Chain A
């Protein structure tokens, strides 16, 4: 079964501290993973995807197939990083592709 878990519903850190938002997945195929972010009163938007191996707004995420994880990290959190973060898995089945989202983690960066 395809599943994405984000164990923390809420994560609070102080400005300048490192932050790690955890994401684990279960999928029998070759996974494609994404992080989406939703800032307050804004729409959901793509933050980064593992195939690009990019760093966006200082965030990085490495796919660890052995641990089936795709944790999102940033060395120094900023107040403007406060938002809801969703980890997503692109899954394929007999019908095509769809996205499986985790429940989300609310990141609160304190001054």
Chain B
């Protein structure tokens, strides 16, 4: 149980275009999902907390108008990178909060974004 999927697994786009990444909890309902960005050989940096039915909470320094998050249902959150630039190239990972005693996070497989 507790499987999180992401789509696409990798994407290449041209500078100035927008890219949407989907995060789904396949076998459980996730009221809260998290979006992370990870640069090579660096740790995960939390970008925003996505709550079902409400606006996302962004971390300091993350532009909410550039990284649009929509958590429309209990199993789906989307991250749209608008007007992408080469510096947005990164590994984007979502996670969903579990509901057991540990409240651990279950991570999706990640999306590799390359902006040319």
> Do A and B come together as binding partners?
no
A-side interface residues toward B, CB under 8 Å?
Answer: none
